[in-house]
Amino acid sequence: MATTTSSIEQKITNDKARSSASQQTNVGRFFDYRWAVAGTVLVLALAMLARWYQGWASWEYGTEATAPEFQVYWMNLMYAQLVVCSIAFFASLTYLWRTRDRHLDKLAPAEEMLRYSRLLGMLFVYAFTFVFAGSFFAEQDASWHQVVMRDTSFTPSHIVLFYGFFPLFITFGFCSYAYAMTRLPLYAKGVSMAMLITVIGPMMVFPNVGYNEWGHAFWFMEEYFTAPLHWGFVVFGWSVMALGGVLVTVVSRLSVLMPQVFLSKQA
């Protein structure tokens, strides 16, 4: 009798262990958070490195644009950033297009759900990068110019902000849209206005840099963010809030997929 009871208890324990392992496997199969973690760590590391470099080289080599040291420590950094970001932008979009799914009509609900989790991870990294581009380094730029009078359009704060983190978040934004269009049936069928505004709107802060520098070349004004010359940055930056519409669309689709996936597993 004791042996039978012990066997039953052991069987129950083994069943619970298998059930727990199965649930963990299913969650790992349907939700992929690795892209979000890897992208966030990369962006945070780049931001910390950029801030360290500014602290090290700004006052020593960055206050005189005509000095030879400025060309070495700052202009070379700007050229390197533009080259690296351009290569990453076109290489990523080319890869996403060449490896696109040509049979989206046959996509299984479980795989579609997994791809939505990856899209959410990419959008999270995009928004995280925009925090540094639209807030941290942007406000730092105003502080720098309130202390050091600009004698060029290329300053230690501009080089990191305009020619580093702006291209970086634009790359993440376009890659997110390209991933959605080439991997998800919902976005392959047509143009999502919410996604389009989320990506194209913030991208427009980059060409607005030209207008900003043209204005500063003719007028001396306070470096606060709500100055009329900066309204373009504000309007285009706020368009990232269309991300809320994207999330509503994604959650609506997941609410349809999750019952199909998990009920089929139980069956």
What domains appear along the chain, each with residue ranges and CATH number?
33-266 (1.20.1050.50)
97 neighbors 89 (Cβ within 8 angstroms): no
C-alpha distances in Å from residue 52, one per residue of 55, 63, 65, 96, 165: 5, 17, 20, 33, 15
Going by C-alpha positions, the residue among 99, 163, 122, 166 that lies closest to residue 33 is 122
pLDDT digits (tens, 9 = 90+) for 166-224: 999 999 999 999 999 999 999 998 888 999 999 998 888 888 877 777 777 677 666 66
Mean predicted lDDT score pLDDT of the chain = 83
For position 26, what pLDDT does the model report? 45
107 neighbors 185 (Cβ within 8 angstroms): yes
pTM: 0.81
pLDDT digits (tens, 9 = 90+) for 128-163: 999 999 889 988 887 887 777 766 778 899 999 999
Q: How confident is the model at residue 258 (pLDDT cuts 50, 70, 90)?
A: confident
